[in-house]
């Protein structure tokens, strides 16, 4: 592997950091001083550069705007008590980014541009990583089609960017989730496993209608019977049923293969908790709830980490939970945070030091 790629760096004249209080920031609203940019043309990636965060100049005919060839990733960087910076499992996001690219007929990105580019960018803007608990630097790689032509076909040219957004917590309180029976997020043969922009555009109406009913997000179900569970909003979902952790399996390609989901599975097994990845129906969940065996429900995702769910609504039936009793979710959350803020040894090699 070639790691000595040439990245041209142009620094800002003066940092914007002095105008921002990293202790009190919303999620994804502010961006650091620099960004990474690269272009794909004539079958190769070129012009890899780090430069001041700035607007892009685009043509109105930009293919990504019309036909949605656009993908992204979400990764987090942390600072430990000594001020050292780390990125959590970026290599897994790199692999998933290229899986998304292939599904959308987009070129893959070489490892050295994604990984080395990200490391250099994060190192340059290291002062932007918040040190307050629950505050992190969210890393947003993205790629989109840049041909300027209205014919529907895969673009020949693309742009790759990495943005850095110092961020506070995504969800500040436990969520109320509505079991979705009208809209569908994904279907076998579709693109549910990829992080492409269109998946989010088509899901917003369900979240909007759920909010009108007093919920925060939806629990997606399969498109045929609205019975088999997929994921919650933009997170994977996990249930603790009679002490066993159960999460929907990935084999149909309808569910995003979350890095947080995978980390949770590894850590739960190490804690001695049985984990089952399998088909899981809403009927089984309701039955377990009625029997008093549904101990905990939570979402897993990079933005929110482990997000406890305080109520599930299925039609008119409501399943409230006392999230204070969620012992496994709390233990998992603590274990993950201890690893990511480098308070305990990183026995899985998940942390990439910058
Ligand atoms: C990003 C995402 C997740 C979570 O994946 P992580 O790698 O844990 O961040 C889950 N579901 C959807 C739909 C997502 O977009």
Query: Whole-angstrom Cα distance, residue 337 to residue 132?
Result: 12
**Cβ of 236 less than 6 Å from ligand 1:** yes
Ligand 1 atom closest to 263 (CA)? 8
**Cβ of 311 less than 6 Å from ligand 1:** no
Strands (E), 127-265: 136-145, 158-167, 175-179, 217-221, 229-232, 236-241, 244-248
Query: Whole-angstrom Cα distance, residue 200 to residue 100?
Result: 14
The distance from CA 348 to its chain's CA centroid, rounded to whole angstroms, is 20
Domain ranges of the chain: 8-169, 175-340
Residue located via tokens 């809209």: 183
**Cβ of 233 less than 6 Å from ligand 1:** no
Q: Helix (H, G, I), strand (E, B), or coil: what is residue 236? A: strand
Each residue's pLDDT, cut to its tens digit, for the chain (354 residues) gives 445 688 999 999 999 999 999 999 999 999 999 999 999 999 999 999 999 999 999 999 999 999 999 999 999 999 999 999 999 999 999 999 999 999 999 999 999 999 999 999 999 999 999 998 889 999 999 999 999 999 999 999 999 999 999 999 887 799 999 999 999 999 999 999 999 999 999 999 999 999 999 999 999 999 999 999 999 999 999 999 999 999 999 999 999 999 999 999 999 999 999 999 999 999 999 999 999 999 999 999 998 899 999 999 999 999 999 999 999 999 999 999 999 999 999 999 999 999
Handedness of CA 254, 258, 264, 266 (dihedral sign): positive
Residue 52 main-chain phi, psi, to 5 deg: -60, 140
Structurally, at CATH architecture level, domain 8-169 sits in 2-Layer Sandwich (3.30)
Residues in a beta bridge with 86: 78, 353
Query: Whole-angstrom Cα distance, residue 209 to residue 131?
Result: 37
Nearest 5 degrees, angle CA 138-CA 70-CA 16? 35
Q: What is the pLDDT of residue 133?
A: 85
Q: What is the pLDDT of residue 172?
A: 78
CA 258 / ligand 1 centre spacing (Å):
5
Query: Whole-angstrom Cα distance, residue 78 to residue 86?
Result: 5
Atom 14 of ligand 1: nearest residue by CA position? 234
Query: Whole-angstrom Cα distance, residue 215 to residue 217?
Result: 6
- HSE-up of residue 44 (Cα within 13 Å, Cβ side): 3
User: What is this structure's pTM?
Assistant: 0.96
Q: Which helix (H) or strand (E) holds 211?
A: helix 197-212
Q: What is the pLDDT of residue 3?
A: 52
Class of domain 175-340: alpha beta
On whether the CB atoms of residues 187 and 223 are closer than 8 A, the answer is yes
**Cβ of 301 less than 6 Å from ligand 1:** yes
Query: Whole-angstrom Cα distance, residue 315 to residue 178?
Result: 8
């Amino acid at each position: 592997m070639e790691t000595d790629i040439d990245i041209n760096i142009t620094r800002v004249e003066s940092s914007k950091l002095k105008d921002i209080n990293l202790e009190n920031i919303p999620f994804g609203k502010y961006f650091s001083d620099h960004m990474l940019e690269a272009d794909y043309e004539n079958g190769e990636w070129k012009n890899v550069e780090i430069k001041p965060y700035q607007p892009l100049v685009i043509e109105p005919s930009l293919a990504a705007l019309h036909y949605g060839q656009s993908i992204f990733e979400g990764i987090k960087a942390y600072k430990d008590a000594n001020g050292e910076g780390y990125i959590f499992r970026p290599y897994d996001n790199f692999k998933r980014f290229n899986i998304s690219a292939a599904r959308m007929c987009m070129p893959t990105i070489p490892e050295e541009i994604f990984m080395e580019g990200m490391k250099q960018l994060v190192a340059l803007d290291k002062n932007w990583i918040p040190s307050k608990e629950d505050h992190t630097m969210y890393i947003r790689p993205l790629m989109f089609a840049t041909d300027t032509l209205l014919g529907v076909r895969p673009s020949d040219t693309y742009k790759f960017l990495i943005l850095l957004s110092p961020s506070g917590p995504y969800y500040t309180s436990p969520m109320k989730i509505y079991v979705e029976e009208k809209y569908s997020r994904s279907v076998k043969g579709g693109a549910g496993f990829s992080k492409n922009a269109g998946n989010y555009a088509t899901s917003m109406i369900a979240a909007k209608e759920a909010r009108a009913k007093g919920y925060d997000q939806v629990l997606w179900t399969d498109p045929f019977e609205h019975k088999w569970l997929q994921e919650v909003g933009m997170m994977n979902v996990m249930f603790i049923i009679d002490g066993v952790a159960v999460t929907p399996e990935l084999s149909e390609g309808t569910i995003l293969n979350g890095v947080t989901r995978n980390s949770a599975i590894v850590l739960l097994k190490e804690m001695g908790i049985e984990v089952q990845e399998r088909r899981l129906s809403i009927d089984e969940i309701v039955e377990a709830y009625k029997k008093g065996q549904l101990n905990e429900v939570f979402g897993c995702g990079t933005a929110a980490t482990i997000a406890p769910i305080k109520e599930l609504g299925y039609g008119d039936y409501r399943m409230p939970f006392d999230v204070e009793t969620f012992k496994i979710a709390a233990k998992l959350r603590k274990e993950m945070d201890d690893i990511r803020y480098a308070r305990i040894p990183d026995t899985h090699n998940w942390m990439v030091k910058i």
